[in-house]
Amino acid sequence: MRILLIGEYSRLHNSLKEGLQELGHEVVLVGDGDAFKNYPIDISINNQFTKKYLPLILRKLSKRVLNIDPSDLETYYKFKKILPQLTDFDVVQLINEDALKIKPQLQIKLLKQLFEQNKNSYLLCCGQDHVSISYALEQKIRYSIMTPYLNDKNLKDKYHYSLKYVTQPYQKLHQFIRSQIKGVIASDLDYHIPYSEQSNYLGLIPNAINTKKLQFSEPQLNIPIHIFHGVNSKSKIKKGNTFFTEALEIIKAKYGEKIKITSSCDVPYKEYITSYTRCHILLDQVYSFDQGYNALEAMAMGKVVFTGAEKEWLDYYNLKEDTVAINALPNVTYLVEKLEWLIDNPENIITISKNARQFVETHHDYKKVSRTYLEFWNRET
């Protein structure tokens, strides 16, 4: 099969590509590298001109005065230019409803041609979109990335990216894509839950992780216990990083030199994954039911990860609490207690570390996941 993957947010499409290629399929990945993360891409639509100093000033002025983003236009023309190459694929998959990250009316023009010149198209729910944000705003779930905003509407400016999905232009984009595709696939339970009510939802396929590229290292329990906290400044409120920061201050005051705390902020993917190589515990996010991609990669490397590991996730994979990952909640006292439990009982770190690697190999192996995608795509063609 010839497969075209559009967009990359986390390395999911890269790992899926690697799995599909090893199974004998031709795969092309188009995207912009996702800003500072700089993920590998086959055909880049990353805008360069509007990132230079003078064009950047003009871009800000244009957005403020004319409500036109020159960066959108650059991406539009780059994608328009490569469209003739993107033909006769057996499968086209968008990473998200906003895969091209430009104004909806521009995306619709490009996607219309893309869909017309290829056979079967699919949408991957990997990140925020109209359905998941609408579901969260209606508070149909215990908590979500929208919880801080729902508790404090003064955070509206911080949620501009999320709230755009419920505006009329993005609702129109949502309706257009849904009218053109064969179906929607979710990458984890945080998207599976809201999409389970949708008519053309095909089901959940776990994130693909290439464990060949992620070396497992059994934790060495010499003092100090190393705790790592990675931060993305644009999503730190949505991920609840403040709860981790406050918990770490308490832990540092209590344990002193018995622990080591390191952190990173907005670093490229390769640097980020290297920065926590030697840690025992990694703090990921609190407002989730399932693991995101960063958490799974850390688990594959044998880290004890504080992330989404809610009851729904335990039931789905038939697991017991605190055996594979630590369910992180938006509660500082709770987080402190869980950290203390690990620091005071370091043998639990070794047990969870081994379980985490085994879990990723069992449920997220990139070739196994790739075969599931092929089954879904073939079933719908």
What would the pLDDT profile of 243-264 be if each residue is shown by its tens digit?
999 999 999 999 999 999 999 9
Together in a domain, 131 and 145? yes
Q: Choose between 35 and 224: higher pLDDT.
A: 224
pLDDT of residue 39: 86
Lowest mean pLDDT among 9-13, 44-48, 49-53, 208-212: 49-53
In this structure, what CATH number is given to the domain that contains residue 22?
3.40.50.2000
Confidence of residue 270 (pLDDT cuts 50, 70, 90): confident
**Angle, CA 151 vertex, CA 286 and CA 64 arms, to 5°:** 95
Together in a domain, 286 and 175? no
CA trace torsion 317, 320, 325, 330 (10° rounding) = 100
Peptide bond into 224 cis (omega under 30): yes
Per-residue pLDDT, averaged over 221-234, amounts to 90
Q: How confident is the prediction for the chain on average, in pLDDT? A: 92
pLDDT of residue 335: 98
Residue 60 has pLDDT above 90, yes or no: no
Together in a domain, 136 and 276? no
Per-residue pLDDT, averaged over 333-345, amounts to 97
Residue recorded with tokens 């063609």: 381
pLDDT of residue 74: 87
Residue 334 has pLDDT above 90, yes or no: yes
Together in a domain, 317 and 342? yes
Together in a domain, 270 and 169? no
- pLDDT tens digit sequence for 77-93: 999 999 999 999 999 99
Element containing residue 125 per DSSP (H, E)? strand 120-125
Together in a domain, 198 and 280? no
Residue 59 has pLDDT above 60, yes or no: no
Together in a domain, 119 and 260? no
Together in a domain, 219 and 197? no
Q: Supply 297's token pair.
A: 């990669």
Together in a domain, 309 and 328? yes
* Distance separating alpha carbons of residues 233 and 147, to the nearest angstrom: 18
Per-residue pLDDT, averaged over 153-160, amounts to 94
pLDDT of residue 50: 55
Residue 164 has pLDDT above 60, yes or no: yes
Together in a domain, 373 and 350? no
Confidence of residue 221 (pLDDT cuts 50, 70, 90): confident
pLDDT of residue 89: 97
Domain boundaries, position 30: 2-208+366-380
Confidence of residue 336 (pLDDT cuts 50, 70, 90): very high
Distance of CA 364 to the CA centre of its chain: 14
The backbone torsions φ and ψ at residue 121, rounded to the nearest 5 degrees and listed phi first, read: -120, 150
Together in a domain, 219 and 294? yes
The backbone torsions φ and ψ at residue 244, rounded to the nearest 5 degrees and listed phi first, read: -65, -45
Together in a domain, 175 and 242? no
Q: How many domains does the chain have?
A: 2
